[in-house]
Amino acid sequence: MPRLLPLVAFLAAYLLTIPLQAQSDSATPLQDVLQTVQADVASPSRATVPQVLDALLQANAPGTVDFLRAWGDREVFVRDADGLFFYAEDAPDRMLTLVDIDSGASVATVSSRDLSQIRPNAGVRREINSALVSYELVHPDRERRIAALASIARSPDAEQIAPLMAARDTEEDPRIIQRMDRLLDLLNARFATDSATRIDAIEGLRGDISTEARRVLNQTLQTRADFAPEIPEGTNVARIRTPGEDMDLIAAYTTLSDAGLFPPRPGRNAIRDALRANVVDGAVGGVPVHLLTTDEMRREAYRALEEAGTIPPLVTEADMREAVAQFVFFDAYLEPDPAVTDAARGSLDSTRTTISLWQFVGISLDALSLASIFFLAAIGLAITFGVMRVINMAHGEFIMMGAYTGFVVQTVIPNLTTSLIVALPLAFAVTFAAGVAMERLVIRHLYTRPLETLLATFGISIALQQLAKNIFGTQARPLTAPDWLAGAIQVNDVVSVASIRVAIFVMALGFLLMLLYILNRTRLGLEVRAVTQNPGMAASMGINPDRINMLTFGLGSGIAGVAGVAIGLVAQVTSEMGANYIVQSFMTVVVGGVGSVFGTLAGATLIGFLQKGIEWFNPANTLAAQTFMVLFIILFIQFRPKGIVALKGRAAGD
């Protein structure tokens, strides 16, 4: 690194005084510059590469940066006949096309035997990459400087501290300065030679939840297991282990025996081999072979051989305790300075606290995402169940119909964005019509008979599932989100949210606002609320309850269809997909409060947060989370049977 410091200083001064773009027509060609150090370029070493870099940077010939990259990537060839340097491209018949390093033009096609590929070793490549990073850090192009910082973050090295500090002194962009300061903290925390600088850098990483910062702190706190009669003076002890308590006694004794301090403790295989080797006349130590079927009998035979002096004695537990009591077992930090490790431990503790807070935020966002899906699935059921008191077991199949509608639209319209725009209203129209038809043909004849309604709609759900299987088959169908909904919104290294889930949350919020407007600001909403509270009185005021029931059932079914399109983007589209949401939908409606939009929202939020909270304690078993959630809801209903938001007035007594 000391050999490169003059080059870095020269480079920074040069680029500050002369713009990179201002290359004069009389600039020395790169090939001519390379010929002045031809032998060092063709056969580079760590001792000679600084001379090459100095010559290249002094000449500042066009194409220098590209040549350095190609040189480090082993993409430069030298022609044996005249020593000129070229890039090369593959040609037919195992030939190579030579590319001039100055003009980029193809100059000849030759056999690979006429060329020698330059293969710099790892040390030379590090020197080249360091020079490249130094070059890029002071480049006039802002994006090139940011890319250089990203390159340092990916492959940190002690030699990058000096060029980064030099570039930091000349940088004017505040955001790049902030990135440079953070990188300097990361590099100094790991590679600085004096403790004060390292401690300051480590303190600068306090609360930093990035992967790079945590890696540096964990590397600083790396330990090695060791033992000694007494802890050596100057050892930076991380932890003292007590055999038999926080350290396995056998493991401690094995450590001592591996060091040759005590005889090894024979295991089962060693005992078995020793017994096999000492079988005499069908017995071992006087014990017949056919009796050696248990550990107790094998040990008895082994002790008989011990007493005869045939084999070494067994190491007992008392022997092991006596042996390990003579030593201290401890973990020692690889970092010898306690002040550095204390600072790293404090920063890491602060970082872990911050990570815990962000993990809570991440779980909350996941819970909101799940709650929005439950809300979309349940809001249509809340309307029909709340207004009409109809237990519609086929509600999940309307979700399935909406998802299949989206799939059909995508097969017809290849553009994913356009197909999604078309699929949402079309799914509403299809399921609205299906809901109206179901209400006119079946439901209207079964009002006031909830058990028969439940059985009838359950039969309809089975029929719709079988119809979907006959049309679309049993395999899952893809419902693909557009590219602008792909990927995730990365908040930081701990929290990220899938873009499609954000879109579903926004859609759920939009449906909430739309329903509130319909129910509170339109004549249809007024009539729906009137029929909900007192159908007889509403009829006497000129409202047709039969018509309201039909429109309400169609509206609830249409919303379920739109929800199906949204859910199909994050779940598999199958004929049974509706059955996966019907239970959660009923739970959401009942817990939130029958007939209340806000109740459905509250129920979806409660169930979403509850399920994600239980999954956080046992993330490997989502089935257990759902089971505990159902048990909680059963208990909740016992104490609040009318739900979170109970209806008031006459409707509450129905």
What local confidence, expressed as pLDDT, does residue 406 receive?
A: 92
Whether residues 254 and 364 fall in one domain: no
**pLDDT grade for 121, boundaries at 50, 70 and 90:** confident
Residue 338 lies in a domain: no
DSSP secondary structure letters along 249-280: HHHHHHHHHHTTSS-----HHHHHHHHHHT-B
Residue 414 has pLDDT above 90, yes or no: no
Mean pLDDT of 24-48: 81
Residue 229 lies in a domain: yes
More confident site: 325 or 628: 325
Whether residues 204 and 232 fall in one domain: no
How many domains is the chain partitioned into structurally? 4
What local confidence, expressed as pLDDT, does residue 8 receive?
A: 45
Q: Which of 137, 116, 330 is nearest to 242 (CA)?
A: 330
Mean pLDDT of 218-231: 91
Q: What is the CATH number of the domain that holds 395?
A: 1.10.3470
Mean pLDDT of 25-54: 83
Q: Which residue has the tokens 């990927």?
A: 487
What local confidence, expressed as pLDDT, does residue 429 receive?
A: 94
Residue 427 has pLDDT above 90, yes or no: yes
| Token representation of residue 88 | 């090369």
Whether residues 131 and 199 fall in one domain: no
Instruction: Show the domain range for 185.
Output: 155-219
End of a domain among 200, 219, 238? 219
What local confidence, expressed as pLDDT, does residue 21 receive?
A: 39
**pLDDT grade for 309, boundaries at 50, 70 and 90:** confident
Whether residues 205 and 101 fall in one domain: no
Residue type, 240: I
More confident site: 388 or 369: 369
Residue 545 lies in a domain: yes
pTM comes to: 0.67
Are 402 and 557 a contacting pair, CB within 8 Å? no
Mean pLDDT, the chain, whole residue set:
83
Whether residues 200 and 283 fall in one domain: no
What local confidence, expressed as pLDDT, does residue 383 receive?
A: 78
Cβ-in-10-Å burial (0-12, 13-18, 19+) of 249 comes to: middle
Q: If you ran DSSP here, which 8-state letter would residue 477 be given? A: B
Residue 306 has pLDDT above 80, yes or no: no
Region of poorest pLDDT, from 16-25, 335-344, 541-550: 16-25
End of a domain among 108, 140, 172? 140
Residue 344 lies in a domain: no
What local confidence, expressed as pLDDT, does residue 423 receive?
A: 92
- Report the alpha-carbon distance of residue 14 to residue 11 in Å, rounded: 5
Maximum Cα interatomic distance, the chain, rounded to a whole number of Å:
111
Whether residues 15 and 112 fall in one domain: yes
What local confidence, expressed as pLDDT, does residue 621 receive?
A: 61
Residue 627 lies in a domain: yes
Find which of 189-198, 285-294, 311-320 is predicted with most confidence, using mean pLDDT: 189-198
Are 103 and 32 a contacting pair, CB within 8 Å? no
- Report the alpha-carbon distance of residue 531 to residue 538 in Å, rounded: 6
CA dihedral in degrees (20, 24, 29, 34; nearest 10)? -50
Residue 385 has pLDDT above 90, yes or no: no
Q: What is the pLDDT of residues 493-518, one digit of tens each?
A: 888 888 888 888 888 888 888 888 88
What local confidence, expressed as pLDDT, does residue 489 receive?
A: 84
Residue 148 lies in a domain: no
Residue 5 has pLDDT above 70, yes or no: no
Are 553 and 545 a contacting pair, CB within 8 Å? no
**pLDDT grade for 329, boundaries at 50, 70 and 90:** very high
Are 603 and 591 a contacting pair, CB within 8 Å? yes
**pLDDT grade for 610, boundaries at 50, 70 and 90:** confident
Whether residues 327 and 388 fall in one domain: no
End of a domain among 175, 196, 219? 219
Q: What is the pLDDT of residues 342-363, one digit of tens each?
A: 999 999 999 899 988 988 888 8
Region of poorest pLDDT, from 188-202, 232-246, 259-273, 449-463: 259-273
Mean pLDDT of 525-549: 81
Are 431 and 565 a contacting pair, CB within 8 Å? no
Residue 2 has pLDDT above 70, yes or no: no
Whether residues 501 and 640 fall in one domain: yes
Mean pLDDT of 521-533: 81
What local confidence, expressed as pLDDT, does residue 526 receive?
A: 86
Chain-centre distance of CA 604, in angstroms? 26
Mean pLDDT of 105-134: 84
Whether residues 511 and 395 fall in one domain: yes
Whether residues 241 and 280 fall in one domain: yes
Residue 294 lies in a domain: yes
- Report the alpha-carbon distance of residue 562 to residue 181 in Å, rounded: 49
Mean pLDDT of 258-274: 78
Long-range contacts of 51-56 (CB under 8 A, 24+ apart): 53/4, 53/7, 53/127, 53/128, 53/131, 54/6, 54/7, 56/30
Whether residues 423 and 566 fall in one domain: yes
**pLDDT grade for 15, boundaries at 50, 70 and 90:** very low
Cα angle: 49, vertex 50, 56; to 5 degrees: 90
Q: Which of 81, 82, 76 is nearest to 96 (CA)?
A: 76
Task: Report the DSSP pairing between strands 106-111 and 95-100.
Answer: antiparallel
| Token representation of residue 398 | 């309307």
What local confidence, expressed as pLDDT, does residue 281 receive?
A: 76
Cβ-in-10-Å burial (0-12, 13-18, 19+) of 449 comes to: exposed
What local confidence, expressed as pLDDT, does residue 453 receive?
A: 85
Residue 434 has pLDDT above 90, yes or no: yes
Whether residues 215 and 228 fall in one domain: no
**pLDDT grade for 620, boundaries at 50, 70 and 90:** low
Residue 349 lies in a domain: no
Mean pLDDT of 432-439: 92
